[in-house]
Each structure stands twice: as C-alpha cells, then as structure tokens.
A and B are shown apart, each in its own frame.
Chain A
Amino acid sequence: MASEPSELPPPEVGATTGVPGSAAAPLDALEADRGGWFETGSAPAAPFDLAVVGAGPAGLAATVAAVEADARVALVDAAPRVGGQYWRHRERDDGTAHHDWSRLVRLRDGVRTAIDAGTVVHFAEVKVWHIEPTADGFTIHALAGEQGREIRARTVVLATGAYDRQLPFPGWTIPGVYTAGAAQALLKGHGVSIGRRVVVAGTGPFLLPVAAGLAEAGATVVGVLEAGRPSAFARHPGTMLRSAGKLREGAAYLRVLRRHRVPYRTRTAVIEAFGDDGVTGVRIARLDPSWGIVTGSQDELACDAVAVGYGFTPQPELALQLGCPHDVDADGSLVALVDDDQASAVPGVFLAGEATGVGGADLSLAEGEIAGHAAAAFAQGRPVDRTATRRTRARRGRARTFADALHEAFPVPRGWLGWLTPETVVCRCEEVTLARIEAAVDDLGATDPRGVKLVARAGMGLCQGRVCGYAMACLVGDRTGRAVGRADLAGMAARPVAQPIPLSVLSQGGGTDDPERGDTRTRSPTSTM
C-alpha cells in the first residue's frame, strides 16, 4: 500500500459503468464518475486528500469546506442521490415538501462545481464495509453492487449519520409497524404513505414532521403520541430565545396537525400492536414520569400503520473499527469523542454530524464544515486556521446547546421495560424473546449484552444488533442491576464488517501477502477504547 503514486497506473474505471471516467458526470445520475478507485486486489489509485463517508448535511458541508481549502475529496455514499436521510428526495424533486431545501441546493451546487473541476469524485451507491489504516492514510473498502472496490485517502471524515432508536413492545414485529424514519423516507423519497390510518408514536421533535407529512399526503393520522412532556423544554428560556427558527419550525408542524384535526397527546405511548398478517390496531396508555403505565388509562386505536421512534442511534461501526474513543452521550447513545476541530484521537480521522452526538441538521452542517476544513489542513500538512471557521464554531456551540436542551427535554426513562411480556420479541432478526434474554442472564450467567448475544443469539442476526442494541443494553443493565456503560453499547455496535459482503470480496481483500495489512486486520476494533 506504500507504493509511490508516480508508479501507479491511471485510476481504473469501475466495471459497472463501462464508461471511461468523465469528471463531469451529474450527481443525480446513477453512473457517477467511478474514477479514482480500484478493484479489490488490484493496483491502487493515487490517494485522495479526504474520503468523506456519508453525503448528508455533515458530509456535504465537509466536502464543500475541504474543496474550498484546495483539497481533493472522495465523497462516498450508499444512496444514489446526495442529501442523506435529512434531505432524502426523489429524482426531479422540486423540494416543496422539504425543510431547508435551499441549503441542500447550495451544497449540491458546490459539490457539482467541484466535480466538474475534478476536485471531487462522488461515489454514489457505494457501501463502505471497512476502513483500514495504512502507512500513508487509509484504505476504504467498499462495495458497488456486488463488486469490491477500494478508495485510498490521507484522511477520513466519518459523517455516517443515525437511524431511529427503537424500543421493543408487544406486536412491534407485525407488518405495518414502521420506524418513524421509514415513514419519512417512503414519503419523501418515494411519494408513498405507509398507510391510510396511521398512529405516530415515540418521543422527540422528529415525530412532528413525520405526522405532518403523512397528514399533508392525505393519510388520516389517528394520533401523535408523545411519550415525554415537551413542555420541559420551557426550562431553558435562553436557549429557546436563541433558537427561534427551530421553534417556529415546530410550531408550523403543529399548525398542520391542527388543520388536519390530528390529536396530539403527551405522556402517552403505544404499548402494544395487534394484528396477524398486518397491524389492525394499537393499545395505548398514559405514562407516569418514569414511563410506567398509569393504571386504568389504557385504550385502543384502530389503524393500518404505525410509525414509531424514540430518538436516534448514531452509526458508529466505522469509527469503532478505527479505534476512535467513544462514550455515552446525554441521550444514552454511543458517540465518538472529538476535539474542537472534530478530530478523533486517531490521527487523520475526523467525525461530524450525529456520530459525535445526535443534534440535527444545523449542528451537523456546522460540524461538517469544521471537520472538512481541519481534515484538509491535516492532509496538506499545515496547521488548522481556526479564524477561518470562527463564525461556524460559534454556530456549532449554539446548535449544541439546543441539542443538549432537547436531550434533557425528551429523555427515555426505563419504565418502558414494563411494557414487555416474556413473549415479546426483542431481537427481530433472530426472533429472541424477552424470556430468553432474561434466562441468559439468570440461568446462563451472562453479565453484559455481548454475553447475552453469545448465548441467546440476540443481536447476532443480519442487522448485527443495530435495531435491538440499545434495548438489549437497557434490558441487561436492568436485569443485572447496573447502569448502561459505553462497553455495553460498544459490545453491541462493534461490527468489523459494516455491510454484508460477498465472501468473494472478503477473500480478495485479505491481503495476506502484505504483513502491514495483516496486522491491522487482526487488531480488535475496540482495542483502544
């Protein structure tokens, strides 16, 4: 991997395109420029200054900032179009249903200009499954369709985002029960409503745009059930005043819900879903402040779809692979620790967006800009000019304060454990029930989530604990009588292979004739935590 760039052949063009790499390929095209990468096992191309993983708000901001600092960037993303989950959109989308669309357009235009100039290559529909440190940077192991591909870069910016955090409850595996993010993705990305009569439930401000979007699209939103009590946010008057824009946004969603006569109830949750082949209704209940069920408060609602979400879980596996230190954030999520330049303790690894703490698009944009700027400086071997991002750093501070206040206003207390029955499936992939998880602790001596995973297979299925990891950590912590720590969450989130890959790709990428590679591959992903 340490070959001189001057000896390298020109970058190979991906076999999937069959078109010699034109740097002017449009971002929206499925056949984005594949130049600058190489097939797994073949000779490597010259390294980029940055590989930005993820093309949501943080990744786009990082890319544009790095380009402005004269860096060459590989923007790698699993989706066909940039924007991430926040700006998930359809081809030819005019953005009318989107918040902050003009900001996406500005960033996208910046990236397009850089693609035309040859300073950015957008690797669309490319899934990163492993990042390996090398003598002069990193090799990003990725999958394009079924083809193994590798990209080299001097630094990486991980902007891998987050997905909905879920709490298991009886019936949550019945078809028609979706995550709130799924409802949003299907609506914004595909123009499809998850149902005709929809219950939206969970906690946090994200429930509002989901419910408003469904109502505007013609679905009957039977109710929005907020398990928390958002009025707790009023304890932060200063933060509220400085965040007038965010509050106006929330008020606008509430107006949409009122116009569609959608009931909005706080301290209320879906505690069970009914149905056989598909959901036909839910049992709801009032909650006490610790989310225990208030006696005699249960009721039923008929529906054909449920959208549920209890905040967000950052995607930490690539950072864990690289040995980046993590800790438990105020919202209970495992997040990467970074310094003022968004740099991890691992040299050359920068992180931005939800991976460093769930905080929404404003925070992600500011962090991305700072990370892209700092990573470019690192790649170019010069100190970071912090005065250039002084205003962005101030913006990041305000957005973080707002995010902290939201975490405090929308906590997830442990009373939800009481909603489960012994038969409730906790691990959806391996179909592991609460009873089996409790038996793993009580009878088989498992003392942490990883131990339960090994003896009961919970978290061992295809999703690799992404969906049940948080719940497992809470359940095992409760059963063993201790608080959930970072080792509990990391044990469920460490994934040496971040995406399912064909065995042929894994065998090509083994590199056993290269001792340096062999070393990094056998290192435990969490060894430096």
Chain B
Amino acid sequence: MTDPPRTDGFSITLDGEAMEVEPGQTVAAALIGAGRRSWRHTRVGDRPRGAFCGIGVCFDCLATINGRPNQRACLVEARPGDIVTTQHGTGHGERAV
C-alpha cells in the first residue's frame, strides 16, 4: 500500500481472488497490503480474525495455505501461486480437535 510495487512481483490467491505480492513479503503482509483484514473464523464464536501481533506470538493470523491449515500467515513467506483459504475453526473440517 505504501511502497511502489516492484517489477518482480507475483500473485497469490485468497479464497480464489488474486492479489499481488512483493518478493519477501509474508502471506499476512501481502493480504494486508491488498486491503484484506481477516482470513480466519474462530472455533468457538465463528468470529472473523486476521493478523494481530504480526511477529508470530499471538496465532490470530492462522490460515490454510496450500491445503495445510493452522499456518501463521505473519511468518510464512509468500511463494508464487500460493493458495490461501479462509480457515474455519480448527481448519480440520468437522473434526473436534
């Protein structure tokens, strides 16, 4: 949102929608830079959540990345073609844990 985009950028998708990423950005940084604030719904109250601490402490930014749930989006560096999907609850469907 703030720096001029570099020419060597690439794209990832969040729930099928493409967004531009600068090399070196984490998934969370790329999503926030694209104007997105939430990519998870909580286990108990089904409330939306996104990043909070931004440095891997709080686990609020959990996302399903390339099919693997519970990834800290603020720590995972985005790679070309990453498929990010909003995580619901534990990210394991109907399983209890």
Contact = CB atoms under 8 A, between A and B. Distances in A.
B51 interface: yes
Interface string B56-70: 111110100000000
A211 to B, nearest CB: 14
A276 B38 CA distance: 11
Contacts of B94: none
A430 B57 contact: no
B85 to A, nearest CB: 16
Contact of A181 (B2, B50, B54): B54
A301 to B, nearest CB: 18
A191 interface: yes
Interface string A208-236: 00000000011100000000000000000
Contacts of A181: 53-55
B38 A78 contact: no
Interface string B1-38: 11100000000000000000011111011001100011
A278 interface: yes
Contacts of A291: none
Interface residues of A, number: 44
B37 A187 contact: no
A189 B59 CA distance: 19
A463 B59 contact: yes
Interface string A100-124: 0000000000000000000000000
**A78, A185, A279 pick with most chain B CB within 10 angstroms:** A185
Contact of A192 (B25, B45, B58, B77): B25
A219 B33 CA distance: 12
Nearest to A214: B2
A87 to B, nearest CB: 13
B26 A173 contact: no
A53 interface: no
Contacts of A193: 1-2
Nearest to B21: A190
Contacts of A164: 53
Contacts of B28: 186
A463 B47 contact: no
B58 to A, nearest CB: 5
Interface residues of B, number: 36
B20 to A, nearest CB: 12
Contact of B59 (A187, A431, A462): A462
A175 to B, nearest CB: 4
B44 interface: yes
A183 B1 CA distance: 13
19 contacts: A163-B57, A175-B48, A178-B52, A179-B58, A181-B53, A181-B55, A182-B51, A182-B53, A183-B54, A186-B54, A187-B2, A189-B26, A218-B2, A277-B38, A428-B49, A429-B58, A431-B42, A431-B43, A462-B62
Contacts of A462: 59, 62
Q: Is the interface of B mostly helix, strand, loop or mixed?
A: loop
A151 interface: no
A78 B26 CA distance: 14
A182 B38 contact: no
A177 B52 contact: yes
A26 interface: no
Contacts of B25: 190-192
A78 B56 contact: yes
Given A163-B57, A185-B55, A462-B59, A176 B37 contact: yes
Contacts of B44: 430-431
A163 B43 CA distance: 25
Contacts of A186: 28-29, 32, 51, 54
A463 B23 CA distance: 28
A85 interface: yes
A101 to B, nearest CB: 17
A173 B40 CA distance: 12
Contacts of B57: 163, 463, 466-467
Contact of A191 (B3, B43, B51, B75): B3
A473 interface: no
B47 A173 contact: yes
A192 B32 contact: yes
